[in-house]
Structure 1
């Protein structure tokens, strides 16, 4: 290796070190809201808890992701027993996975989930948002692929009007073009159609419909563009009935790529309210973007305030890396103060990123590397919490403890650990703890308590 080459590399590293950090690369960022790659979110609140359902990226999974939180900031991951690709599929559903859930509470007091499996829409029901969820339509899709073969039968979203009447909106296009939106009134059982579905496609619609009410108006919000690029965005249209006709509103689109803020391709959203204040929950591309390879489309969930006026108009959204949400804790719970060291797979994924309280940044382990936490002095540690890059994948993890950083003893080993957070009891008094994960594995955050 030549001296000139080494000098060039060193100069490049120094330049990178001197360059200002990107806007998303900061301490204690509120967005992304949850750790990991998820898309197409739906959110509800019941019994003092928040429930967030989402597609598992990349491009769905055999299961659906569900996150629960009592304070809106500290979330715990699980996968409901229904829907699954095995339990909710038909001969015409195709190879695509489970994605795009919509969860609502009906006038009858039960909860209903409308979810895409392949290119079809299925419906399940449960006594509470936590479940247990089960098929509600006799083991067959509510909307089959052949309902309108020229379009994609996905992205179903339910809307319950003030009088308890429910409507279902759905539809996308094929090959990222020609999206169409359908709507049908639902009978009180939330499964049978009350009338024939209607095509209510507004201008510039592609997919992801979500209806809200503003005064006497019905506002249809939706996505346009291509989620794999930087053209994905949120638009809206205003109608006087749940069936429209819908006319695109002023200031549409309301949420778009903002490269100055490091926000790329925001869309497929849900709108929820805390009191009178509405918020938009949406996915956007994970950072840095674009990514090479098979995992090029990895999306993350963010939330920002929304302004909806009585005349149905919506103000443009300023996407952020952390907005206050009424009813959410101002910050996530933090563990013991520590400093982190360890070899990383590359300069972008250094060890400090596993302790910056930012779900846009992570430590990626170099081969044979460990992540060492220094507490500054010997302290009692009851447990550790790990938020790994992929909440649904298994990881072999182990933790050692040391008083002096030279002599180590293993305090926990967990093969095939999964979930988020992964909670590991350690019950030691030590200054140093050392985490071992597989080479290449990513750690969003490592906390000690």
Structure 2
């Protein structure tokens, strides 16, 4: 378990045959070089075309890493700019999976982009453009994949493809995931005439790449082919990078003598590093990989891109990489002027203090001006407006402000103001109606001021916090490598919480003891619950309650927009479970699993003894179990809360378990169901009452509500 303190780790540098030891910097220290990107991105592929570096990556921390297809670009490897690429959708549906992309420059001077997608089977699709950033055209007008699921053998999952151009001009691809039980990685040659199909493909025997999982990456060192890959589990600290080598692109491959060569470091400040690519700059090699965030999000789906030096002992041996927060020294001299806000004093309307069963961590205002992509300022809750004030120390010329919000591919609405005295404010930039995403957001104007004030008023997605990785202020203008601009979103700003009781479902309020077919919802969203299956109104222990045997109540009104995406909630219920099963036993759900089968896209409260409940999101990697299972055949007060950062389960007023989460709840066609999920998983037991709010109650409020709603014997 990670602890909330700042660690030092040891980085070993080899130079001229001598080993030097240098202490790493604090993970939260100002100006550290890792992570290199401000945001949630994984599976990075790094390329250099001309004098510009590009990082193509999976957009992370939402709906099983199903964010927008974006690319980062930079000239100095310090200042990175994000762009949402224009990629045509499939004929069947729009693209929401853009997984583990790779790009190849063809002999025709065009650029060929490949990525994995599991919407129509898990396949690798190909696109072509005259530019490394698009716009892209399909290689197949009929959506035929370059590498299909079940190729080169039946049931083989075609994901995580990386392409390699050999010295003889041939292009090879290596792909596969979950290969430890799918028979080993695959290798094949890309048809250079079409760039759209494979030939001579086969599987590499498992024993040639011991302990594999996914993410093969091939490179050449001298006459040796180095097949690198990621092993163990991407969800936790065991994730690592390994390698084998061969004299041929097809093998046989010999495992490296010192595997793994990249792992979680001793103090766990670099946690679960893997799924990498390699940059060769002159005669030096750099490994670009992702690691988990800190504090760590459940399931390891909030990943960030890092880079460290990689050294070969000889053509077939890679030295162990010691991952760091320090990162690498400047590869290229930057022409961007000094950030005059670096280290400046900051204050904010509020900041989030994360307190859970795992962490005690603060998202301080000072983290917005520390030029550190591992830290951010985050407001105390997901209400807006929220503001941040920077004190530059003295009156200075300001010509540009660049703001890196938490989510690069979603827009934020905001204003920037400036002041000489911190009392009277003037408008610097008005983005209060902005609908264009970007990282950084760039605002230019020439003023003189001591104070800068950022006010965030709304966001594109429900439940997003006012949160900033870095805000930078400059006294002069400078060129941007590629003056690209994202398209304006057609989506209206997100609905905000009503701060109300949405659902009030209480057996004690029902006067009749006759057969019940409908129950009116007395909560804010109204509607009628209709009974499906076997549910009866009974008295147990003198308490009136609904007895769920094999049935449920379904609300006719839609799930409110305030519960969409990352919307906060509280679900509180008095329940008695005579026999506790290992799975199922859903008390309430508000999701549509038939339409979205992705992690964190649905939500439910369960009362079972397995890893799938209390909080249900996909499987044991993302779900939250009870630490101490509530005793069977007794009345308990169970409360599940989510504030947009942390999910918590309370049992009888006591915090039992918690986990960091970012949800991507899909509610478009979802139904609010009591006593089951959308696919069954029925609860068998008694529910006296159930209440739901679109905000998170704190522990004092949970206890107060427990005492107010405790069922009474009749």
The 5 A counterparts of 1:284-295 are 284-289=291-296, 291-292=297-298
Is the alpha carbon distance of 1:79 and 1:267 closer, same or farther for their aligned partners in structure 2, counting shifts above 3 Å? same
Q: Could you tell which deviates more after superposition, 426-435 or 67-76?
A: 426-435
Is the alpha carbon distance of 1:411 and 1:327 closer, same or farther for their aligned partners in structure 2, counting shifts above 3 Å? closer
Distance 1:192 1:252 in 2: 34
Deviation at 1:88, TM superposition (A): 4.1
8 A Cα contact 1:101 1:114, kept in partner: yes
Distance 2:232 2:401 in 1: 42
Q: Deviations over 1:362-403 (max 9, x none)?
A: 000235541111122222222211001110011111122222
User: Per the alignment, in what secondary structure is the counterpart of residue 422 of structure 2?
Assistant: coil
Which residue matches 1:222?
229
Is the alpha carbon distance of 1:89 and 1:103 closer, same or farther for their aligned partners in structure 2, counting shifts above 3 Å? farther
Which residue matches 2:307?
303
Deviation at 1:245, TM superposition (A): 1.1
Deviation at 1:27, TM superposition (A): 1.0
The 5 A counterparts of 1:185-204 are 185-189=189-193, 191-193=195-197, 195-201=199-205, 202-204=209-211
Which residue matches 1:7?
none
Which residue matches 1:42?
45
Which residue matches 1:136?
139
Distance 2:295 2:201 in 1: 41
Which residue matches 2:320?
316
Structure 1 alignment gaps of length 5 or more: 1-15
The 5 A counterparts of 1:129-278 are 129-138=132-141, 139-147=143-151, 148=153, 150-173=155-178, 177-178=181-182, 180-189=184-193, 191-193=195-197, 195-201=199-205, 202-260=209-267, 262-278=269-285
Distance 1:309 1:89 in 2: 49
Distance 1:230 1:340 in 2: 34
Is the alpha carbon distance of 1:267 and 1:333 closer, same or farther for their aligned partners in structure 2, counting shifts above 3 Å? farther
8 A Cα contact 1:179 1:205, kept in partner: no
Structure 2 alignment gaps of length 5 or more: 9-25, 354-360, 458-463, 475-714
**Aligned with residue 339 of structure 1, among 338, 345, 352:** 345
Which residue matches 1:112?
112
Distance 1:97 1:215 in 2: 36
Distance 1:385 1:177 in 2: 47
User: Per the alignment, in what secondary structure is the counterpart of residue 245 of structure 1?
Assistant: coil
Deviation at 1:190, TM superposition (A): 5.5
Deviation at 1:62, TM superposition (A): 5.2
Which residue matches 2:575?
none
User: Per the alignment, in what secondary structure is the counterpart of residue 353 of structure 1?
Assistant: helix
Q: Does residue 1:402 correspond to 2:428, yes or no?
A: no
Which residue matches 2:627?
none
Q: Does residue 1:101 correspond to 2:101, yes or no?
A: yes
Distance 2:213 2:202 in 1: 16
TM-score, normalization: structure 1?
A: 0.87
TM-score, normalization: structure 2?
A: 0.56
User: Per the alignment, in what secondary structure is the counterpart of residue 437 of structure 1?
Assistant: strand
Which residue matches 1:8?
none
Which residue matches 1:365?
379
8 A Cα contact 1:212 1:218, kept in partner: yes
8 A Cα contact 2:147 2:197, kept in partner: no
Distance 1:190 1:320 in 2: 42
Higher Cα radius of gyration: 2
User: Per the alignment, in what secondary structure is the counterpart of residue 352 of structure 1?
Assistant: helix
8 A Cα contact 2:306 2:327, kept in partner: no
Distance 1:432 1:334 in 2: 17
